[in-house]
Amino acid sequence: MQTIKDTLAENLGGPATLLGSHQFKLDDCPDLSGKVAVVTGGSEGIGFGVTYTLLKHNIAKLFILSKSKEVVDGAKDAMAKELGQDKADRTVWMECDLSDWVRVKDVAEAIKREASRLDILVNNAGRGIMPAEFTPLGVDRHMAVNHIGHVVLTSHLLPLMKRTAEQGHTVRISNQASNVHYQAPAETRFASLEEINTDVGPNGQYGRSKLAAILYARYFDRNVTKKGHPNVLMNATHPGLVSTKQSRTSIFEAFPLGGYAMSHGIEPFKKDQFEGAVPTIYAVTTTKESGQYICAPAIPEAGSDLSQSEELADNLMELTRNVVREKTRSESADKGCPFDDLVLH
C-alpha cells in the first residue's frame, strides 16, 4: 500500500504529494545566508521554482545559466515583485547553451573568478521528450545538453566546490533525472558515440539522457564522495509530472496529436513548478546522502536495473570524457590549450 502511495506522491501534485513515506516541504528548506548556488535552466519551469525558493531562504548569490535573456528578465521581474529587489539583485545571469561545451567551460571559469565559494549546484536544464537532433558538434542533443554539458560544468566547478567543503561546509549537487529513465533502451551500453547518436525515438532519447543523470550521481558518489570528499554530495532527482513548457508545449514536437493528452488531458493532475522543485531543494539543502535517486517529495528509490550498474556508469563516464576531448580538440588542444583538463573527479 505504501508503494502505491509513494508512486502517487512522486508523480502527481496536490494532496497526493502528502502521501509519500519521506516527507519534505519547501518551507523545510534551511536558512541559506552566506551560501552561493548555480542553477542551470533556473529562469523558468522547475528551475524557477528552485531559484525562487533558494532566494526566499536567503541565498547570498545565485548564478542562473540558460539561453534566453527574455525569459530570465521576466523571472527577475517576478522575483523583484514577490521577494523584493534585494533578492532579485542577488542573481547573476550567464548566457550558456549547455550543448556548447567550450562556452560551458568559459562560464565555469567566470563563476570561479566571481565566487569564492560554491555550496549548491543544480544541474536542471534539459531538452524534453522531443525528436532526435544533432548539435553542431555532431552529438545527440539530448545527451549533449542533459548529460555531457552538465558533466563539463560540474567538472570545471569541482575544484571550487572541494575548497568550499574543505572549509567545513557541505556541498550538494543535484542532477534532474526522471522516471522516464525506465524507457532508455534495454540494450544501452554507452559503448560509443555511434550508439548514443542512434535515434531511439523521443521517449528513448530522453530516457537515455535521464538514465545518464542517475548513473553520473552514482559514479560521483563512488569516485568523489567516497574517495576523500565526504562533504561533496551528488544526487539525482525525479520531480514528478510537472506543468512546464516541456510538458505543455515541447511535447507536441514529438507527438503532434498524442501530445494533447500530455499537455491538456492530464494537466489537472500535474504539479506546479514549486511542487516540482521539492526533491531538488531537499537534495541541495538537506540530504546527508550521496549517489541516491530521490523521487518527490524526498523518497530514495532504486531506479531501473540499468541505473544501478557500476559497469554502465563507468562506460558512460569514459565515453563522456572521450567525446568531449575529441569534439573540442580544434578549440583547445590544437590551440595549445588542451581540454584534457576535464578531470571528472
Ligand X SMILES: NC(=O)c1ccc[n+]([C@@H]2O[C@H](COP(=O)([O-])OP(=O)(O)OC[C@H]3O[C@@H](n4cnc5c(N)ncnc54)[C@H](OP(=O)(O)O)[C@@H]3O)[C@@H](O)[C@H]2O)c1
DSSP annotation string for 218-250: HHHIIIIITTT-TTEEEEEEE--SB-SHIIIII
Q: Which is nearer to ligand X, 202 or 239 (CB)?
A: 239
Q: Which is nearer to ligand X, 13 or 291 (CB)?
A: 13
**Out of 155, 247, 263, 292, the residue judged to bind ligand X by CB under 6 A:** 247
Euclidean distance between CA atoms 141 and 218, whole angstroms: 23
* Active-site residue flag, 105: no
Please tell me whether residue 17 binds ligand X under the rule CB under 6 A.
Answer: no
Q: Which is nearer to ligand X, 244 or 332 (CB)?
A: 244
- Residue count, binding to ligand X (CB under 6 A): 30
Cell, residue 63: 548564478
Place of cell 519534505: 24
Query: What are residue 258's DSSP bridge partners?
Result: none
Q: Which of 260, 276, 310 is nearest to 126 (CA)?
A: 276
Please tell me whether residue 39 binds ligand X under the rule CB under 6 A.
Answer: no
H or E element in which residue 40 lies? strand 36-40
Q: Which is nearer to ligand X, 124 or 183 (CB)?
A: 124
* Active-site residue flag, 260: no
Rounded to the nearest angstrom, the gap between the alpha carbon of residue 193 and the centroid of all alpha carbons in its chain is 22
Please tell me whether residue 126 binds ligand X under the rule CB under 6 A.
Answer: yes
Binding range to ligand X, per CB under 6 A, among 120-128, 160-168, 188-196, 287-295: 120-128
Is the Cβ–Cβ distance between 67 and 97 less than 8 Å? yes
**Out of 6, 10, 44, 275, the residue judged to bind ligand X by CB under 6 A:** 44
- Contact residues toward ligand X (CB under 6 A) are 40-41, 43-47, 66-68, 71, 96-99, 124-128, 145, 176, 178, 239, 241-242, 244-247
